[in-house]
Chain A
């Protein structure tokens, strides 16, 4: 689905889809999921216990918009599906302007974009949650699930990086935290160790004269996987005319979503104008290493990085000035 393994790592997906279409003629029920055990633990410890019992053969279920399709289409297998939606800690959304945002890993997209304060505090995150799939997907799909799937084209991940979010992980060895840009390891792979689960994401409190934006390019109007995406966060000085700090992150142009460090650092102290945004886009292009696929060529995607970086910087700046 739209939150899925996107942008060029789709070949296997398409091959497989063809395969399932051919096999359905050989016997009814070829589309059916293989059976598995289902558990809906109510505590993090019980979830870890369940995960440890089944090892690699256990899959976590949050919104299910990716995992159910992957299981059905044979892209992955599971002996057990562990539904995390009855664990209170994973479903919590707590925000205060002083502490920031704590977002449980299972909180669905709609809860984020319908929250009045979040669209002011973390607009890039809200931009992304509004355009993941359609309404039906947003009712179920979670930001934590989007992150754990580790798709290079995941819409929310660049916004998490731009917002400097931190991942909180629980496992048999206890709890640990790490910056979100260190979470994805490869297309579809994250750094979670056996028995570990993502519990929550935390976002630092919003700063004065700061804002953010996310944009992606897709070949269709809606309901598609990004050919390229960019999230920009900026903080301006008191006059609103100069950049004090910036964080740019890119999606669908590398094996994982990436932090554009050089472009972000370069922006410090730069005046707010189109030339600055264009130059930042040029610098951001240097870290893009995309592939060719049906959504765009490598050259096209690199070009998009420049355009989307420029546009999101302009939008984030505009929002910061409007504060």
Chain B
């Protein structure tokens, strides 16, 4: 089949930055055929050019966590309901469990690891901490990514708009109120920083 961008040929290129021979399938033992056909992907993750080899079947979530050790994004439901695996892809929040790693070719990916600049927490992260907007914390990275995207798009969201934008992020601990208040607090801080 003719497909200029991606074919299941073994990777020819050598990575200039960070090449990863993914071996999870091997370690799992029983699925040897996965080893044979790796796809080479060039992408940008948190501003850094990254190249990796992956199986067609691997989700972006699997690749980020198991392959690149970016374990900030979490596997919750693994079917697109909970939002714990939210990352930014080409400036839009997506469920990384519902994206194939090969689809990251030429894309810009931003994970929760890229949000704190030089060890300085982003106001959204700071407000989640101060507002105790988490208990177990599994959903938090997904919330942080979505909230940051929301406040960039809509710096003064109403409570209704916040709840609507966060409908795809589920939290089973806090009951959401502290999360909403923390988003409102972050919106204020970001506004003050601007003025």
Contacts and interface: CB of A to CB of B under 8 A. Distances in A.
A134 B168 contact: yes
A223 B79 contact: no
B118 interface: no
A34 B34 CA distance: 9
Contact of A137 (B95, B164, B165): B95
B120 interface: no
Contacts of A110: 92
A73 B79 CA distance: 9
B19 interface: no
A1 B31 contact: no
Interface string B140-182: 0000001001000000000000001111110000000000000
Interface stretch (A42-50, A96-104, A118-126): A42-50
A110 B169 CA distance: 17
Nearest to A114: B153
B33 interface: yes
A239 interface: no
A62 B1 CA distance: 18
For A34, A134, A221, which residue has the most chain B Cβ atoms within 10 angstroms?
A134
Given A49-B2, A64-B103, A69-B98, A136 B164 contact: no
A135 B34 contact: no
Nearest to B55: A35
Interface string A27-40: 11101111111111
B147 to A, nearest CB: 11
A35 B57 contact: yes
Interface string B73-106: 0000011110100100100111101111011010
B4 interface: yes
Nearest to B142: A136
Interface stretch (B5-13, B126-134, B186-194): B5-13
A302 to B, nearest CB: 28
Interface string A191-231: 00000000000000000000000000000011100000000
Contacts of B167: 134-135, 221-223
- Determine the main DSSP class of B at the interface with A: loop
Nearest to B34: A35
Interface residues of A, number: 46
Given A69-B80, A133-B168, A53 B1 contact: yes
Contacts of B93: 135-136, 139
A223 B164 contact: no
A29 B31 contact: yes
B189 to A, nearest CB: 22
Contacts of B98: 1, 63-65, 68-69, 136-137, 140
B3 interface: yes
B94 A72 contact: no
Contacts of B31: 29, 32, 35
A223 B167 CA distance: 7
- Determine the main DSSP class of A at the interface with B: loop
A135 B168 contact: yes
A81 interface: yes
A137 B80 contact: yes
B113 to A, nearest CB: 18
Contacts of B7: 39
A54 to B, nearest CB: 8
A61 interface: yes
Contact of A41 (B1, B25, B146): B1
A65 B93 CA distance: 13
A135 B86 CA distance: 10
Contact of B80 (A1, A49, A86): A1
Given A42-B5, A46-B1, A136-B94, A33 B57 contact: yes
Contacts of A36: 56-57
Q: Which 3 A-B pairs have the closest CB atoms?
A: A134-B168, A222-B167, A38-B56
Interface of A: 1-2, 27-29, 31-42, 46, 49-50, 53, 61, 63-65, 68-69, 71-73, 80-81, 83, 85-86, 110, 133-137, 139-140, 221-223
Interface of B: 1-8, 25, 28-31, 33-34, 37, 39, 55-59, 62, 78-81, 83, 86, 89, 92-95, 97-100, 102-103, 105, 146, 149, 164-169
Given A32-B57, A40-B6, 20 more contacts: A27-B30, A28-B29, A29-B31, A32-B25, A33-B57, A33-B59, A34-B57, A38-B102, A41-B1, A46-B1, A46-B2, A46-B3, A61-B100, A68-B59, A72-B59, A72-B79, A86-B5, A136-B95, A140-B95, A222-B164
14 contacts: A27-B30, A29-B31, A32-B57, A36-B56, A40-B6, A46-B2, A50-B1, A68-B97, A68-B100, A83-B102, A110-B92, A136-B168, A222-B167, A223-B168
